[in-house]
Structure 1
Amino acid sequence: MNNTKDTILNQVLLLRKATITQLSEKLGISEISVRHHLIKLEAEGLVSVSEERHGVGRPRFVYCLTEKGFQIAPTNYFRLTDHALTTMKNFLGLEAFLELLKQFGRDLAEAYTSSISSENPEQILEEVTESLTRDGFVFSWTKSGESLVLTTHHCPVHHLGQKHPEVCTINHALLESLIQQPLKHDTCILHGDPGCTYTYEVLDGK
């Protein structure tokens, strides 16, 4: 991979979501050249593109690293995190390790609790998905009979979960803390499903 592609991957990693204009300004090259490299990176499965609305006018295209791109980008984050998780699991034992991950998920939830004000189950899910989506998660929810189903379409820990499936506990604990309801984890991206789904039964509107 040439230096320009490496630099683009690094910038997309730093920005999390990058536009062609942003990358052009950061790299000091034309937008046409940036677009040319991004097309190649997308074809190689290293970046993904989506539309994002930003006020009035046409939506803009934003680029994010894929799981493959994250691992190839010039960073040691994955190896360091992998080593840390392995060490903690071996030192604590599985039961204590899982409890630590649950607590981590609960702690993450505290950053979002102030944005959830409704007591209506459907409105709570709307507020949860809106808050998490703003931070780069890709969530949606649907109603199925008396059940509400929350789906994440992109797993932020997928690359780690392939070796440490216990990290799914973080998302589960995060969502249960936000919704204040026990959730059933029905499907999982790690198992080859198109998304991770979490379901809870609505009883008497609660």
Structure 2
Amino acid sequence: RYLRLTNRLIAQMKETLPAPAVSQLFGQIAEDLVSQYANDVKGLSMEARLDFVKDLLAQEGFTVEWEKKDDSYQIHEISCPYYQIGIAHPEVCTVDQTLISKMLALPVNRVQCILDGSAHCTYVVQQSKNK
């Protein structure tokens, strides 16, 4: 029932609001989460931030693993609580991508997406040269 309601709400938003406003709403959801936890990651190493993000996403219903590869980190979302909604409304992916980027204070690049047929979503974060 929640899935149907959520899909209807998002469909109504997309019919009523301009596309940039819908994107902004999803981004703001992530920003609100980030603002709740921003102080918790201050001064943490990248690995500690990654662990924090992993735990935070777990609280949101994701199963996440991360690994270091050469000069980057790969974040794998093994399961996604938004999958069923994302089928019709892929904009929902903005939430976790923005959350990851803001919590790590670095841009992230999605290189795999479960919605595109991949086994899971994978984000790549280039290690900062300054840290």
Per the normalisation by structure 1, the TM-score is: 0.59
CA contact (8 A) 2:41 2:49 kept: yes
- Shift of residue 178 of structure 1? 1.2
RMSD: 1.7
Residues in 1 aligned to 2:60 and 2:18: alpha-carbon distance in whole angstroms: 32
CA contact (8 A) 1:121 1:205 kept: no
- Shift of residue 174 of structure 1? 1.3
- Is there any run of 5+ residues in structure 1 with no aligned partner, and where? 1-75
Specify the alignment match of 1:127 in structure 2: 52
Q: Give the partner amino acid of 1:204.
A: K
Write 1 or 2 for the structure with the bigger share of helix.
2
Specify the alignment match of 2:73 in structure 1: 148
- Shift of residue 99 of structure 1? 1.4
**Number of residue pairs aligned between Structure 1 and Structure 2:** 131
Per the normalisation by structure 2, the TM-score is: 0.89
Q: Identify if the C-alpha distance between structure 1 residues 96 and 131 changes in structure 2 by more than 3 Å, giving closer, same or farther.
A: closer
Specify the alignment match of 1:201 in structure 2: 126
CA contact (8 A) 1:150 1:197 kept: yes
Specify the alignment match of 1:138 in structure 2: 63
Q: Percent identity?
A: 31
- Is there any run of 5+ residues in structure 2 with no aligned partner, and where? none
CA contact (8 A) 1:103 1:173 kept: no
Q: Give the partner amino acid of 1:174.
A: L
- Shift of residue 112 of structure 1? 3.2
CA-to-aligned-CA distance 1:46-97 (integer Å, 9 cap, x gap): xxxxxxxxxxxxxxxxxxxxxxxxxxxxxx2111111110111111121221
CA contact (8 A) 1:120 1:205 kept: no
